[in-house]
Structure 1
Amino acid sequence: MPLSHRVPDLSSLEMLLAVARLGSLGKAAGEAGISQPAASARIRVMETQIGAGLLERSPNGSRLTAAGALVAGWAARVLEAAEALDAGIEVLRGEREDRLRVAAGQTVAECLLPGWLVGLRAERPDTFVSLSADNSRAVAEKVLRGEVDLGFVESATVPPGLDAAVVARDELVVVAAPQHAWARRSRVRPAELAAARLVLREPGSGARQVLAGVLAPYGGLAGPLLELSSSTAVKAAAVCGAGPAVLSRLVVEEELRARRLVAVDIAGVDLGRALRAVWPTGHRPRGPARDLLSTARRAARADPGRPARALRVGTRPDATPSR
């Protein structure tokens, strides 16, 4: 049940104990860093709440009445419990500061977060980070349920209930094996891409959502040739010649350089996208989540005109955050 209105606040109880210990309302006020009239007013409010006089005032100082002595005894136990509560909260806060739960879309998790986490570790070497990689829909759901402290999504939109900040720019690219007919063409029309059966990620992935939005004016996506649950699997299928695929350039940059895959130019279509950090609306990231967000945004500002570049484990981001 709720506390009675007769229960004084902790600062008033502390003042009463200070008067009992020091024998002077003025000295108790000085110890608390407030004026004597303010301290006297605090005691009067408490006396009104309790319905009994607590202090006997005289030119030589102040001492507790019999009722005041009783209240002081109870107050000491209350303040002891409050100090234990405060200490426990501090421990919990310290534990939260020492761990960070992150969920990210697979492109961010595999290509960008390793570098960002290196920067975070330089700043917070004792912070334990747990990372789960999933599609953007699942990441958003984890953030909304409070299962993670910070999420990174690759979708075209942000679900209701989440605030977001752009941390990188990315580019989707249509790729095919060198022996595929599209690899020998200078350009493919958007309607052809919409009608083609592609190797795609599962529904809920950011890349698939962005692609579906871009191709909506051309009839939308046809049924997939293969539907796979990871970018690595989609890439492997494309390399083996299963069919064209649409993936982040970050994911396929090595295969493009080695000519295991060929980028297919799609006429008049912009496949750029924003990569975003997300958190519950109205709850700005704090502690290590705030510092990781800062690291990601600093890396983006270091090269704002270009799509994000993959940062491998063991490398450092373009800029390390300062505190």
Structure 2
Amino acid sequence: MADRRLQVFHAVAKHGSFTRAAEHLHMTQPAVTFQIKQLEEHFDTRLLDRGHGKISLTPAGELVLAYAERILGLSAELDSRVSELTDELAGQIKIGTSTTIAAYWLPHILEGFKRRYPRVLPRVVVGNSKLTEDAVAARDLDIGLIEIVTEQHAIERRSAARDELFVICSPDNPLAAFKSLRAKDLVGHPFIDRDPGNGIRQIADEFFEAAGIAGSEITLCAEIGSLATIKHLAAAGLGFAIASKRAIQRDLEDGRLVAIALEPRIYTPLEVILPRDKFRSRLITAFADFACEEFARMADRDSAA
């Protein structure tokens, strides 16, 4: 119900770019420019300064942004409260998720939730855990599913479950002969690491640090954000990697990879995070509850297997 001009202005101000705002709103850039022009004509003042490739808010723009955030928040709350009166969850929910969760956990969570609430429209953004955490803290996302334990004050976290981490490598790799591996056993072997900000990378760093092994002692083979690429390189014999149990089950069954337990055992947390003190609709609460339940159910099933 909120004024479309305010929605567009809010997006431009938040993203600092007409182009990124257009992408976020699924609009053309000329359409975004037109909406901003109309809003400025309405207030008879300039709201944005455009110069040197950057966009900044004028004093009037700062004031309009403050009110726009309040108006848009109230509009979303109104829509949600009215839809809740029908006793059927509906509407859009913006979900952020890490790449591993997106590939191996989220499909089952979304399938179950959509079957229960078919009128809900999930919009999913995939990135590493740190990017997702920051987007939830900035309230650009309604909810996040990540693999790190956040300490940001702006975030409320729910620990849903955990997944054990293993060393993975090709069956021909010398490490494949071990029944378990300590950190010092991995020194000198090429390591295929995750990208900075990835939750599993953070846990792996802590595993080596706890054993007194400096980063300079690790033979780094590559830093890659794609788990599929990491598994491909490991299966091809280029090095070892560290991955969660659920992400490697099919590869183990096919014989492409072997998994060796770490000593001491380490786990990746599966966390559901929400903006703290933000108005929370029944839809967001229902999805958070459902995601926690599904994480726990799938983790228990994997452990039993």
3-state SS of 2:181 partner: coil
Counterpart Cα distance in 1 of 2:281 and 2:303: 25
How far the C-alpha of 1:280 sits from its partner, in A, is: 1.7
For residue 299 of structure 1, what is the aligned residue in structure 2?
294
3-state SS of 2:168 partner: strand
Q: Which has the higher strand share?
A: 2
In the superposition, the TM-score normalised over structure 1's length comes to 0.62
For residue 106 of structure 1, what is the aligned residue in structure 2?
99
TM-superposition CA deviations, 1:10-39 (whole Å, max 9, x none): xxxxxxxxxxxxxxxxxxxxxxxxxxxxxx
For residue 148 of structure 2, what is the aligned residue in structure 1?
155
Judge conservation of contact 2:162–2:268 (CA < 8 Å) in 1. Answer: yes
For residue 146 of structure 1, what is the aligned residue in structure 2?
139
How far the C-alpha of 1:172 sits from its partner, in A, is: 1.2
Counterpart Cα distance in 2 of 1:94 and 1:129: 19
How far the C-alpha of 1:159 sits from its partner, in A, is: 3.2
- Tell me whether 1:236 sits opposite 2:229 in the alignment: no
Q: Give the alignment of 1:118-133 within 5 angstroms.
A: 118-133=111-126
How far the C-alpha of 1:115 sits from its partner, in A, is: 1.1
3-state SS of 1:224 partner: strand
Over 3 Å counting, the alpha-carbon distance change for 1:216 and 1:240 in structure 2 is same
3-state SS of 1:159 partner: coil
Counterpart Cα distance in 2 of 1:87 and 1:144: 21
Whichever of the two has the greater Rg, that structure is 1
Any gaps of 5 or more consecutive residues in structure 1? 1-85, 311-323
In the superposition, the TM-score normalised over structure 2's length comes to 0.65
Judge conservation of contact 2:96–2:141 (CA < 8 Å) in 1. Answer: yes
- Tell me whether 1:181 sits opposite 2:195 in the alignment: no
Which AA in structure 2 matches 1:273?
T
How far the C-alpha of 1:146 sits from its partner, in A, is: 1.4
3-state SS of 1:114 partner: helix
- Tell me whether 1:193 sits opposite 2:189 in the alignment: no
Counterpart Cα distance in 2 of 1:105 and 1:159: 17
Judge conservation of contact 1:168–1:307 (CA < 8 Å) in 2. Answer: no
Counterpart Cα distance in 1 of 2:104 and 2:137: 24
Q: Percent identity?
A: 22
Match of 2:283 among 239, 263, 288: 288
3-state SS of 2:184 partner: helix
Match of 2:274 among 257, 276, 279: 279
Judge conservation of contact 1:120–1:291 (CA < 8 Å) in 2. Answer: no
Counterpart Cα distance in 1 of 2:236 and 2:189: 18
- Tell me whether 1:251 sits opposite 2:242 in the alignment: no
How far the C-alpha of 1:302 sits from its partner, in A, is: 4.1
Match of 2:162 among 169, 173, 197: 169
